[in-house]
Structure 1
Amino acid sequence: MNFLEIQFFLRGQTLPADHGYSLYSAIKKLLKENQVDLLNEDNLPPEILISSISGIPNKNGMIYLNKNSRFRFRCPAEQAPQWYRFLQNQVLDIRGHIIRLIQPRLTLPETSEILKARLVVFRLEQWNSHDAPFYFLESCKKAMEKIEVNAQVSIDSNYDGDLALRSLKVKDKNILGYGLLVEGLNNEDSLKLQCYGLGGRKHFGCGWFYPVKEEINNAA
């Protein structure tokens, strides 16, 4: 399990707050236009994870990029050199918001006993506010058992103290999920969860785990 993370600084000003699917679409479009053989049956390889880009929200569906904003991309180590070369200095059009990927660097995910994910999604048979948290957590536990990760999971809370219910727009459909907190991880399981992610839509920014200290540093 050798994964690397590629981080890019950004040149640009704004992005849609909900940009996960549009970011993925822009990358796929570039691959097709440049005829680069990195697609897997017209999609990004399933082992690729892409993070949504952080910024300062304007409360009107948009974020302002700042010094902490990064494009982050995890992949198997053997794929990293090709992705690094291809993505460097690429210009992405995210629904009319233009960003350039600059100053790339390769890093290893850091181990942490506690990890968070902004949004994890599962396909539940039915979704209602009363039962969804139970079935969501059950799905998390089953998914973690499948990748042999042993830890405690809980739904994160938002700034108001409510369950962190969030959504991702894919074309004309809203996909619902929750922010997730995972505690009690050993070093091996911490790396495994960050490299494999959890749930679906991992090309769109979902299932991306990070150490809690990143959240503190980005808020500073």
Structure 2
Amino acid sequence: MHLELVFRAFGPTDIPTDHAYPLYAALSGVVPQFHDAAAGLRFAPLTGAADAAGRLRLTDWSCLRVRLPDDAIRLALPLAGRQLDLVGSPIRLGVPTVRTLAPAPALMSRITTFKNAETPEEFLATARAKLSELEVAGDPQLPIHLTGDRAGEPKRRVVRIKGTAIVGYALVVAELSAADSIRLQERGLGGRTQMGCGFFVPAKEGM
């Protein structure tokens, strides 16, 4: 069984929207088990108000979400009250709230990445194959931009890891059973899941 720890995030400045790798490095500095895939600790990038310049402003509802097996909660507790440095921008984490994972018929990941799947067509084909490998029956979909210069286009996103730009897309998986919904939230999908990619939340939360 997996649980989710939700830490409020506080900071006087904004941070880069693409902050998954710096956050991974900062979290690993406090909790080395984030480096160990076998430990099962995963996180979602911080929430906040993004702007067109690629910056994210922390708000009253900004938080860090960490998913982990229920017997590993103690590993993440040292994060409570800690200050982290994200590319020169300090943020502080509050005391976590513990949540159980709840099933939802549609889940969304802000960014999911697959190797050799950069076009929308390649990406969806790979998503279907990877869901099948997880024994998750669902309908993968690419959400699109509704306004602006990219209206009608899939939400293509990039995560930079040690200077290398990794291309991915926002992904919705719909028509999920309760069991499959929980499995996808626990396991994640695609690559770089230790670095915030392939982290699924109920689609209504609108990551």
Q: Normalized against structure 2, the TM-score is what?
A: 0.91
The one of 35, 56, 65 equivalent to 1:63 is: 56
Q: What is the aligned-residue RMSD (CA, Å)?
A: 1.6
Q: Is the 8 A contact 1:10 1:101 kept in 2?
A: yes
1:112 to 1:31, Cα distance in 2 relative to 1, 3 A:
closer
1:141 matches 2:133? no
Q: CA deviation at 1:168?
A: 0.6
* Other-structure match for 2:3: 4
Q: CA deviation at 1:82?
A: 2.6
* Other-structure match for 2:168: 177
* Other-structure match for 1:22: 22
Q: Is the 8 A contact 2:30 2:79 kept in 1?
A: no
Q: Is the 8 A contact 2:8 2:63 kept in 1?
A: yes
Q: Normalized against structure 1, the TM-score is what?
A: 0.86
Amino acid at match of 1:60: A
Q: Is the 8 A contact 1:55 1:65 kept in 2?
A: yes
Task: Give the gaps of 5 or more residues in structure 1.
Answer: 33-37
Q: Is the 8 A contact 1:48 1:202 kept in 2?
A: no
Q: CA deviation at 1:67?
A: 1.4
What secondary structure does 1:103 align onto? coil
Q: CA deviation at 1:103?
A: 2.3
Amino acid at match of 2:202: P
1:152 to 1:58, Cα distance in 2 relative to 1, 3 A:
closer
Q: Is the 8 A contact 1:28 1:44 kept in 2?
A: no
Q: Aligned pair count?
A: 201
Q: CA deviation at 1:49?
A: 1.7
What secondary structure does 1:68 align onto? coil
The one of 186, 193, 199 equivalent to 1:208 is: 199
The one of 140, 157, 160 equivalent to 1:166 is: 157
What secondary structure does 2:56 align onto? strand
Q: Is the 8 A contact 1:4 1:75 kept in 2?
A: yes
What fraction of aligned residue pairs are identical, expressed as a percent?
A: 29
What secondary structure does 2:95 align onto? strand
1:108 matches 2:100? yes
Q: CA deviation at 1:156?
A: 1.5
**Aligned partners of 1:48, 1:110: CA distance in 2, in Å?**
18
Q: CA deviation at 1:77?
A: 0.9
Amino acid at match of 2:22: S
Amino acid at match of 2:4: E
Q: CA deviation at 1:153?
A: 0.9
**Aligned partners of 1:153, 1:31: CA distance in 2, in Å?**
33
- TM alignment of 1:115-154, pairs within 5 A: 115-124=107-116, 127=118, 132-154=119-141
**Aligned partners of 2:202, 2:172: CA distance in 1, in Å?**
10
Q: What per-residue deviation string (whole Å, max 9, x for no partner) do you get for residues 47-71 of structure 1?
A: 2221011111232221110012100
Task: Give the gaps of 5 or more residues in structure 2.
Answer: none
**Aligned partners of 1:72, 1:121: CA distance in 2, in Å?**
19
Q: CA deviation at 1:17?
A: 1.0
Amino acid at match of 2:46: I
Q: Is the 8 A contact 2:10 2:62 kept in 1?
A: no
